[in-house]
Amino acid sequence: MPTPETVLAHADATLPAAREALFDLLRIPSISARPEHARDCLRAGEWVRDYLAGLGFTAALRPTPGQPIVVAHHPGPPGYRGPHILFYGHYDVQPVDPLELWTSPPFEPQRVEGKHGPRYVARGAVDDKGQVMMFLSALRAWHEAGGGIPARITVLIEGEEEVGSINLDPFLEANKAELATDLALISDTGMWDIDTPAITTRLRGLVFTEVSVRAASRDLHSGLFGGSALNPINALCAALGKLADDQGRIALPGFYDRVKPVAAALAGEWRAMGFDEAAFLGDIGLRAPAGEQGMPGLERLWARPTADINGIWGGYTGPGAKTVIPAEAFAKVSFRLVPDQDPDAVADAFRRFLAAHLPADAKAEVRVLSGAPGIEVAADSPAIRAAREVLTEEYHRPALLVGSGGSIPVVSSLKRILGIDSLLMGFGLDDDQVHSPNEKFEERCFHHGIRAHIRLLERLGR
């Protein structure tokens, strides 16, 4: 059997081809939040399916009530006795607005020079098409130069991660036997910095809600009714304005009841990482940390819950003046959660909070668009030990065990439904502009990511 070294050399030599494949996938505007892009999501799913079929996988696009899910199987080499690995990723991407802030069209990927060498700029460059393509390129390298896929692998690539993976759990439930595996491998997280690899062992959860507040039965003239008629925007602002107290603590009833302080040892490791929050904020034009006062930066980002208004709208928003008291106002409000906080309980507390802070004539409705609890995975499993090992070989320095402030709801679904833990080995950087204009992925990260996955597949299969 060829050594990983042969396969690594092949991956180095075929990096341009791997990039071109990624660019092909990036050119498909698979925005799952926009119904008009449903056809594009389907095309992206077909593209991934065909790519895997080309590597010898039994690959299919499986229907759901929303976007289809790619499922592909490979038995690995004859007599394989290692773990059956489930690779998870997503082919859908975030919306691109505000479009005018992009320096190149979001679905025309560019390779441009940056401070770390070439980078790829496009929506989905890193989240998650780029990271998915690292894994698929590692498979291709094994397929082309390594004598075949070196482990038993099931690939599951969904198309609704950016809209809350609403159809994934039922799909996992319905296909439990087919998806029975030993370990999930997910590449949708980040490194500590461009030279320091990281494995994520802690993720925040999320409750994403949409709030409507309705008052009068119609829009009103603020001159004729102002001073008597309730203004739902004023009421919504007054209520949402109380979401955090003056110490930055979230004011929902019972919100912190199940929030545990970070264990002293872990808190110590995080402090030792020397996180420079001033520089982190300086990169985005800010000076003072928001959030809970007096809490270390990494704890606020990785281990403390938050409340963010992700969108708000109501009344007249066109050019010029319109003296209207509108009939309704809306907001999208989300809460990042930490392990043990219950998404449903938080949504209920938010409903009670609004009821307590809105006048009786303001009829509020809270719709939960997605919810997933926070996650903490065991740091001492064989899979995580294997990943630390290959990352250390690849980068010549030890991989850090980090938290992430983001949510990957699938991690808890995989644990709950399939009973498997997830290994989160990702290659994004903090400045990749995920979900923002000019999203990018460093070529160096892409390249190391391919190589690390080549090593990991061999190491896990030993």
Interacting residues with a second copy between 124 and 163 (CB under 8 A):
162-163
Q: Which of positions 349-378 make contact with a second copy (CB under 8 A)?
A: 359-361, 369-370
Taking CB under 8 A as the criterion, the residue among 15, 38, 309, 345 binding a second copy is: 309
Neighbours of 2 (CB within 10 A): 15
Beta bridge partners of 62: 69
Kindly tell me which residue out of 103, 288, 294, 462 binds a second copy, with binding defined by CB under 8 A: 288
For residue 361, what are the contacts with CB-CB under 8 A and spacing of at least 6?
215, 230
- Long-range CB pairs of 292-301 (<8 Å, 24+ gap) are 292/247, 292/248, 292/249, 293/247, 293/248, 294/247, 296/267, 296/270, 296/271, 298/270, 298/271, 298/273, 298/403, 299/262, 299/267, 299/270, 301/403, 301/405
Please give the size of the binding site for a second copy, defined by CB under 8 A.
103
Provide the minimum distance between the beta carbon of 91 and a second copy in the complex, in angstroms, as a whole number.
17
Q: Cβ atoms within 10 A of the Cβ of 205, count?
A: 25
| Minimum CB–partner distance for residue 353 and a second copy (Å) | 13
Measured between alpha carbons, how far is residue 10 from residues 2, 425, 453 in Å? Answer: 11, 22, 14
Shortest distance, CB of residue 97 to a second copy, whole angstroms?
A: 8
Binding to a second copy in span 248-287, by CB under 8 A: 277, 280-281, 284-287
Backbone torsions φ then ψ of 145, nearest 5 degrees: -125, -5
Query: Is 60 an interacting residue with respect to a second copy (CB under 8 A)?
Result: no
Gap between the terminal Cα atoms of the chain: 12
Give yes or no for residue 196 binding a second copy (CB under 8 A).
Answer: no
In 3-state terms, what secondary structure has residue 272?
helix
Q: Verify binding: residue 21, a second copy, rule CB under 8 A.
A: no
Element (H, E) at 386: helix 382-395
Options 1, 13, 53, 101; binder of a second copy; rule CB under 8 A: 101
Residue whose CB is less far from a second copy, 51 or 102: 102
* Cβ neighbours for 437, distance < 8 A, ≥ 6 positions apart: 96, 98, 99, 101, 102, 103, 106
- Asked if residue 62 lies in contact with residue 69, where contact means CB atoms within 8 angstroms, the answer is yes
Cα separation, 47 vs 53, whole angstroms: 10
- 15-26 vs 129-145: helix axis angle to the nearest 10? 140
List C-alpha distances in Å: 105 to 121, 256, 441: 9, 43, 16
Q: Does 99 bind a second copy (CB under 8 A)?
A: no
Q: Does 78 bind a second copy (CB under 8 A)?
A: no
Q: From 340, 402, 405, select the one nearest 203 (Cα to Cα).
A: 405
Q: Is residue 227 a contact point for a second copy (CB under 8 A)?
A: yes
Closest CA to 373 of 403, 420, 336: 336
CB-nearer residue toward a second copy: 220 or 457: 220
Pick the binder of a second copy from 111, 322, 352, 397 (CB under 8 A).
322
Q: Which is nearer to a second copy, 177 or 321 (CB)?
A: 321
Q: Kindly tell me which residue out of 6, 330, 389, 444 binds a second copy, with binding defined by CB under 8 A.
A: 330
Nearer to a second copy, 31 or 456 (CB): 31
Closest CA to 338 of 257, 221, 443, 452: 257
**From 175, 212, 222, 381, residue interacting with a second copy (rule: CB under 8 A):** 222
Residue 142 or 270: the one with the smaller Cβ distance to a second copy is 270
Q: Does residue 224 interact with a second copy by CB under 8 A?
A: yes
**One symbol per residue from 415 to 444: x for binding a second copy (CB under 8 A), - otherwise; what is it?**
---------------x--xxxxxx------
Tokens of 122: 């496009």
In Å, what is the CA distance from 294 to each residue of 248, 249, 277, 289, 297? 10, 11, 13, 10, 9
CB of 361 to a second copy, least distance (A): 5
Q: Which of 240, 384, 417, 450 binds a second copy (CB under 8 A)?
A: 240
Min dist CB 79 to a second copy, Å, is 42
Exactly one of 2, 15, 27, 34 binds a second copy (CB under 8 A); that residue is 34
Q: Min. distance of Cβ 431 from a second copy in angstroms?
A: 10
Question: Which range, of 74-82, 128-136, 149-157, 289-297, touches a second copy by CB under 8 A?
Answer: 289-297
The verdict on 220 binding a second copy (CB under 8 A) reads yes
Q: Confirm or reject binding of residue 103 to a second copy (CB under 8 A).
A: no
Nearest distance from C-beta of residue 152 to a second copy, angstroms: 32
Read off the DSSP letter of residue 99.
G
Contact indicator for 390, 398 with CB cutoff of 8 Å: no
What is the closest distance, in whole angstroms, from the C-beta atom of residue 231 to a second copy in the complex?
Answer: 5
**Among 28, 136, 307, 366, interactor with a second copy by CB under 8 A:** 307
